[in-house]
């Protein structure tokens, strides 16, 4: 059972449904061990009131963590010791960018890290459809679009260039790319993304 798992573990990952938390967590003795919670909707302040004899870190990982390319958002407030935090980092740093965020901005960071992959998936699918329309094999079209996103993101992380400067570097006068960029601007591409973030943040 859950208590037996805690008894035999050095670190406990709390990955249960939010409705289960208040029935389960107070019944367990965490024995001064580190509890890493991925439960949505439970901040450190809220969860720590229910935890008996344990130190808590609240995180939100995103799906690319499955291939070692994820983002792990970590709420800044924690009662973990420096040693426990170092242990946590040794587990999550190799598979994700670990980003500490204050509670007030956690939801917005969550949208960019954990909701926006769905926006990227839509982009890959749409570019794939366009590629197929003009004769590319679908698998090839999806692969090119996906790798383009990976590479562009990697270039930003490596070089730290402003995204606008990276865009400008690809847009030559009267070139192909600027025609596509201006079409996206006319269609409200940027505004649509901003509005999507606003819609989730206000929900």
Please give the angle made by the CA atoms of 164, 169 and 175, to the nearest 5 degrees: 110
Q: What are phi and psi of 53, to 5 degrees?
A: 55, 55
CATH number corresponding to 109-201: 1.10.3730.10
- Does the pLDDT value for residue 16 go beyond 90? yes
Question: Are the beta carbons of 60 and 40 closer than 8 angstroms?
Answer: yes
- Does the pLDDT value for residue 107 go beyond 90? yes
Domain residue ranges in the chain: 2-101, 109-201
pLDDT tens digits for range 23-51: 999 999 999 999 999 998 899 999 999 99
What pTM, to 2 d.p., does this model score? Answer: 0.90
Domains 2-101 and 109-201 share a fold: no
Reference 48, options 26, 70, 72, 19; nearest CA is 26
Average pLDDT over residues 89-108: 96
Question: What's the topology of domain 2-101?
Answer: Rossmann fold (3.40.50)
d(CA 64, CA 71) in angstroms, rounded, equals: 7
Report pLDDT for 47: 95
d(CA 160, CA 36) in angstroms, rounded, equals: 31
- Does the pLDDT value for residue 110 go beyond 90? yes
Question: Are the beta carbons of 56 and 48 closer than 8 angstroms?
Answer: yes
* Percentage of the chain exceeding pLDDT 90: 97
Strand order in the sheet with 52-61: 11-14, 29-37, 52-61, 70-75, 96-101
| Alpha carbon distances (Å) from 200 to 14, 115, 120, 169, 197 | 25, 9, 16, 32, 5
- Does the pLDDT value for residue 54 go beyond 90? no
Report pLDDT for 131: 98
């Amino acid at each position: 059972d859950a208590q037996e798992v805690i008894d035999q573990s050095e670190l406990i990952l709390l990955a249960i449904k939010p409705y289960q938390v208040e029935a389960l967590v107070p019944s367990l003795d965490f024995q001064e061990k580190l509890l890493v919670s991925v439960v949505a909707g439970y901040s450190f302040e809220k969860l720590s009131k229910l935890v008996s004899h344990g130190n808590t870190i609240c995180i939100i990982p995103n799906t690319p963590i499955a291939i070692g390319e994820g983002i792990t958002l970590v709420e800044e407030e924690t009662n973990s010791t420096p040693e426990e935090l170092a242990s946590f980092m040794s587990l999550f740093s190799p598979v994700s960018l670990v980003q500490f965020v204050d509670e007030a901005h956690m939801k917005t960071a969550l949208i960019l890290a954990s909701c926006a992959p769905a926006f990227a998936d839509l982009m890959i699918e749409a570019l794939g459809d366009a590629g197929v329309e003009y004769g590319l094999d679908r698998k090839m079209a999806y692969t090119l679009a996906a790798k383009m996103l990976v590479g562009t993101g990697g270039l930003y992380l490596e070089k730290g260039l402003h995204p606008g400067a990276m865009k400008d570097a690809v847009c030559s006068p009267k070139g192909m790319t600027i025609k596509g960029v201006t079409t996206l601007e006319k269609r409200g591409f940027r505004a649509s993304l901003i509005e999507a973030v606003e819609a989730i943040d206000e929900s």
